[in-house]
A = this chain, B = another copy of it.
Amino acid sequence: MDMRWKKISDAVVRRLPLYLRVLDDLARNKDAKLISSHELGDRAGVGPALVRKDLAWFGEFGKQGVGYEIEYLRLELRKILNLEGVINVALVGVGSLGAALTRFHIRKFDEDDSFNLKICALFDEDPEKHGQVHDGVTVHSSADMAEVVRAQNIEMAIITVPAGDAQDVAQRLVDAGIRAILNFAPTKITVPDGVQLATADLSLELQRLAYYLQDE
């Protein structure tokens, strides 16, 4: 990572995938070569000044009065976001959600050239599941986590265990060398500095929606 990027805030980093998605769509349709910061902002749901400011952190990608070259900016954003090589991913907790996400991700990896996250190991505490193969991926004992993570060069993990087990699992993943975790367990977990955490907390979103369904 470029040293200058160190000071870039997470709010900026969170918007980069939005821009990339717009550029991916445009590149697929091949209907234009250039895009203005106004249009890119409109499609991404971000103001044009913020688009220009966000991208300026990483280089001079646009020309005043002309806009951005779609294919060039798209490839640069893919580099910036570390989407060029395959990233190996482990999933912990092979229940109904874990098995479902495995299937979904394996298919996405096979079908979508721009998706570079590959689930290559599953972990579960239940001995009856050890050795099972889901969509080509083997279930290991959580006791072998450090060894499997090292052997398969795994960098990222998805947690789909029950809430009560999530913090323990996160700690074991960190101990095994994992530096980025996506947590689906419906609970707050903490990780040390230097480890990135993202949450996909569906039940919180659903409860928020329920609130708004009340009769007025």
Task: Identify the A interface with B (CB < 8 A).
Answer: 1, 10, 13-14, 16-18, 20-21, 25, 43-45, 80-83, 87, 96-97, 99-101, 103-104, 107, 115-117, 155-156, 163, 179-182, 186-188, 196, 198-200, 202-216
Contacts and interface: CB of A to CB of B under 8 A. Distances in A.
26 contacts: A1-B214, A13-B211, A13-B212, A18-B204, A20-B207, A21-B204, A45-B188, A82-B210, A82-B211, A83-B207, A96-B107, A100-B101, A115-B203, A117-B206, A117-B210, A156-B209, A156-B213, A180-B212, A196-B208, A196-B209, A198-B205, A198-B208, A198-B209, A200-B200, A200-B202, A200-B205
Contact of A209 (B21, B182, B202): B182
Copies in the complex: 2
A44 B186 CA distance: 12
Given A44-B188, A211-B81, A103 B107 contact: no
Given A21-B186, A202-B200, A203-B17, A210 B180 contact: yes
B155 A213 contact: yes
A188 B1 CA distance: 29
A14 to B, nearest CB: 6
B13 A208 contact: yes
A213 B82 contact: yes
Q: Closest 7 interchain pairs by CB? A: A100-B100, A180-B209, A17-B207, A1-B214, A198-B205, A196-B212, A17-B204
A163 B43 CA distance: 14
A194 B34 CA distance: 36
A156 to B, nearest CB: 6
Contact of A205 (B1, B107, B182): B182
